[in-house]
Chains A and B, each alone.
Chain A
Amino acid sequence: MDTVSKDTISQKRETPGRILEIRRDFPILNRQVQDKPLVYLDNGASTQMPKQVMDTINAYHEFHHSNVHRGVHQLSQEATELYEGAREKLRAFIGAASTKEVVYTSGTTESINLVANSYGLANLKKGDKILISNMEHHANIVPWYMIAKKTGAEIVVIPILDDGSLDMDALSELMDNNVRILCVNHVSNALGTVNPVKEIAKMCRDYGVITVIDGAQAVGHFPIDVVDLGVDFYAFSGHKMHGPTGVGVLYGREELLAKMEPFMGGGDMILSVSFEKIIWNELPYKFEAGTPPIAQAIGLGAAVDYLNSLDREFLESYENDLLEYATEKLKSVSGLKLVGTAPGKISLNSFVIEGVHPHDIGTILDGEGVAVRTGQHCAEPVMDRFGIPATTRASMAFYNTFEEIDALTDALLKVTELFDVTD
């Protein structure tokens, strides 16, 4: 293809052997799609699982499966031990002080709904303000909208700058004594922006504002420490950190969780029940009604082990190289404009191509084996902010290679040729 010769900006780069070795842990990366090798660049939606995680889940099913916290028999005790063991791994993974602060949920969405209902509903009233950033995923908007409607609290939007950074000056100005809760993602799934959560949390403490941080896109990319960040609530999902779907975590400061009422009622979350009086179970079980996602939680523990076994500092700097390379390569695509260019982004590029709808890009890329996400990324306010209907998003993980970025670029050049896009 002659358009490729246009690419003189960046040298081809070779993927380090350490990365190629890591790739071998992910069987799915070897599959073909439309007779082409899969190029998986939809890690923002869901990351792939290493075989270590799948093996752990399998072993659980083949050998230990039983219900937790309920039986005196051997299997139930083993299942409980594995399930609680995974909780301890997660506690250490996020730097929480105690496993009482680590609540299993079905994912980020449920985690935030839990806070909105158990904390928000009880503590908000008319005249109160909830600050929500303009770059939130619908999961950190809609639950608050629902609670605001019930309580009469007001939602106030924290604006973002043209490069996709949070407008910190505007935030300082919005802070006042009526603000009760601030909701912001650690990393934006639509833009890749990494928000200065530590600084935001400090500002919030000064005003007595509770922070609800959506960490869904952060945990898979860099280590986090909730105590160092100084946040009140931190939510994330297993399937975005190389664990299974169906499980996630809500971290909450013990002092806050202790005062909150349960979100859902049922088995496991009570100490005693009579028709006259119910006593809630202790933390964190108070928030875990019914049979939890046991295998998934254990699988998530294995994902933590897996991430801990890797040199995460190296992976972070490698992902930075990938991003830099991808950003450079994408410049060779006519009419392409990046949406979100904040400094210090995670390895994610959201973009539009003049005159080509993202869905057409997505379909053509899929035909080339390249999996990307197209659409609004459950973040319609971000799209409105930038005045675009949708974007195409290539979101990378540490197992992606420079060659895969080349494949993405080649596929995009086919799109621009087909649609006759010129600069």
Chain B
Amino acid sequence: MLLTNRSKNLYQEVILDHNKNPRNYREIEHPSHFAKGNNPLCGDKLDVYLIIDDKNVVTDVSFVGDGCAISKASASIMTTLVKDKTIDEVNKLFEGFHDMATGKIEPDEDPKLRRLRAFSGVKDLPARVKCATLAWHTLDAALKNQEIISTE
């Protein structure tokens, strides 16, 4: 298919796959942490649920919501990455992801970002950075016990 490189870069197989079959797409009945994310500009909405044990480890994580392929895939991949990590590790991952999405670092500079590199294409699309980071901002808000956040 003759798509421009930019679209090919962004809509990689892994993003399309997670968009179509999002992982951990469910509610958790008794989460220890929870937040609602909202991007009023595009109407993207997603809820992030977490269970964190007394050693500060994410033992379960999930999301539900509606949004574009980028935000949905980002949420899905995020849930697969933060499971079984400590809050400290999650925070570092978020920081690295944020720096990559906004073009501050290249994905190769940080081995942690290997599975997130598909999103590095958004750095050229300022309007889409928020789509990629919405899930992470929501996760961050849940960890800080802010229940509603907006990325505008």
Contacts and interface: CB of A to CB of B under 8 A. Distances in A.
Interface of A: 1, 34-36, 356-360, 363-364, 367-368, 374-376, 383, 389-390, 414, 417-420
A418 B3 contact: yes
B3 A359 contact: no
Contact of A389 (B4, B6, B43): B43
Contact of B16 (A357, A389, A390, A419): A419
B128 A359 contact: yes
20 contacts: A1-B1, A1-B2, A34-B6, A357-B67, A358-B68, A359-B128, A360-B68, A363-B127, A364-B7, A364-B11, A367-B6, A367-B7, A368-B4, A383-B43, A390-B43, A414-B1, A414-B3, A418-B1, A419-B16, A420-B20
B3 A364 contact: yes
Contacts of A363: 7, 10, 125, 127-128
A419 B44 CA distance: 19
Interface of B: 1-4, 6-7, 10-11, 16, 19-20, 41-44, 66-70, 125, 127-128, 131
Given A34-B6, A375-B41, A375-B42, A359 B1 contact: no
Nearest to B43: A389
A308 to B, nearest CB: 37
Contacts of B67: 357
B4 A34 contact: yes
A367 B19 CA distance: 20
Contacts of B131: 359
Contact of A367 (B1, B4, B69): B4
Contacts of B44: 359, 389
B26 to A, nearest CB: 20
A376 B43 contact: yes
Contact of A360 (B2, B11, B43): B11
B69 A360 contact: yes
B43 A419 contact: no
A381 B151 CA distance: 21
Contacts of B41: 375
Contacts of B6: 34, 367
Given A363-B7, A363-B10, A383-B43, A357 B1 contact: no
Q: Which 3 pairs across A and B sit closest by C-beta, in order of nearness?
A: A357-B68, A367-B7, A359-B68
Given A358-B42, A358-B68, A389-B44, 4 more contacts: A36-B4, A383-B43, A418-B3, A418-B7
Given A357-B68, A359-B131, A364-B7, A418 B16 contact: yes
A105 to B, nearest CB: 26
Given A357-B67, A359-B68, A419-B69, A390 B42 contact: yes
A255 B1 CA distance: 63
A417 B66 contact: no
A364 B131 CA distance: 15
B38 to A, nearest CB: 12
A417 B70 contact: no
B70 A360 contact: yes
Nearest to A410: B2
Nearest to B131: A359
Contacts of A418: 1, 3, 7, 11, 16
A287 to B, nearest CB: 32
Contacts of B42: 358-359, 374-375, 390
Nearest to A365: B7
